[in-house]
Structure 1
């Protein structure tokens, strides 16, 4: 694989995770439209948790592909921007792995079972209202933070495409061969 191209699996996982994050946001926002304790509200929470677990699994796949095939060399020679871009990617990776774990912990600390398909996660923590509240608040705060960071990430990609006119965005879209 050329150092100027993303592996197709990297591109797949990038956009798959993006769609899962959008779906998780949409369904948790939809939850607020229903009264507490109602069936539709509980269904929204269940679907949100399922998407979160899919995000975790997809991120493991994404990082595995990155470890095996690497990432292309950056197109921007500016060292400050390069450092910020790398930091942004690793913060996003960390959050996309941590948020589902935090969600499982706060649900289990609230005394709830966590299901994934037909499997029930083992109980990792005893019910504890203080731990539940702490992890729920952190999960919500970092969940909001990730959307801010994804926005910056998207704006940076657009800046590369329209202002710098380089191949950064095209490489992740896999539309044309990169020139770098």
Structure 2
């Protein structure tokens, strides 16, 4: 099993980062959607947002790690893709990275614009770096719009992978789910 990417596919580390982030992002969307339904009397009114914020900070760290890993690894060959598909795929990935970074930064701002720290899993407080209560509603709206854009783009990404697998019958999806062996150079 190979940990690094090769010309024929993604290594184990890239695959794990991809799938952990993908599943976590959909879970965070669900958690965020549920949080919006909580009332002040709910026993989860404080703990659910704190959990959402803490997981968001972990995902920000994973995003930085994933981006760093992407920078020091080769990208698998895109021989299965047409020029348009290759450009579209690359653009979609960069937009998705930008949206993920933006939604996480805006999420941090929502939680800290009132001057309060984020209780990171109730272990340590992540301090507020900027205070402006007037921006809370705008940040909340932006977070909501970014979250829906991410889910839409991630859904499109998933559908494209399925299209490649079932319609084009190429190896695009397999490169992200099949473990590489030492013979796959």
Same fold, TM-score > 0.5, yes or no: yes
Deviation at 1:100, TM superposition (A): 1.3
Distance 2:108 2:143 in 1: 10
Q: Within 5 Å, which residues of 2 pair with 1:19-38?
A: 19-36=23-40, 38=42
State which of 152, 155, 158 in structure 2 corresponds to 1:151.
155
Q: Which has the higher contact order (CA 8 A, sep 6+)?
A: 2
Deviation at 1:176, TM superposition (A): 6.9
How far does the alpha carbon of each residue in 1:74-118 deviate from its partner, in whole angstroms, 9 at most, with x for none?
243421221111111011111112211111112211333212242
Whether the 8 Å contact between 1:5 and 1:171 is mirrored in structure 2 is: yes
> Which residue of 1 is the match for residue 54 of structure 2?
50
Structure 1 or 2: more helix by fraction: 1
Distance 1:103 1:37 in 2: 23
Q: Within 5 Å, which residues of 2 pair with 1:141-180?
A: 141-175=145-179
Please list every run of at least 4 consecutive aligned residues from structure 1 whose deviation after the TM superposition is greater than 6 angstroms: 176-180
Whether the 8 Å contact between 2:50 and 2:120 is mirrored in structure 1 is: no
Q: Within 5 Å, which residues of 2 pair with 1:7-22?
A: 7-22=11-26
Distance 1:41 1:73 in 2: 47
TM value normalised by structure 2: 0.87
Deviation at 1:27, TM superposition (A): 1.6
Give aligned pairs, total: 179
Q: Point out where structure 2 has 5 or more consecutive residues left out of the alignment.
A: none
Distance 2:180 2:120 in 1: 38
Q: Point out where structure 1 has 5 or more consecutive residues left out of the alignment.
A: none
TM value normalised by structure 1: 0.89
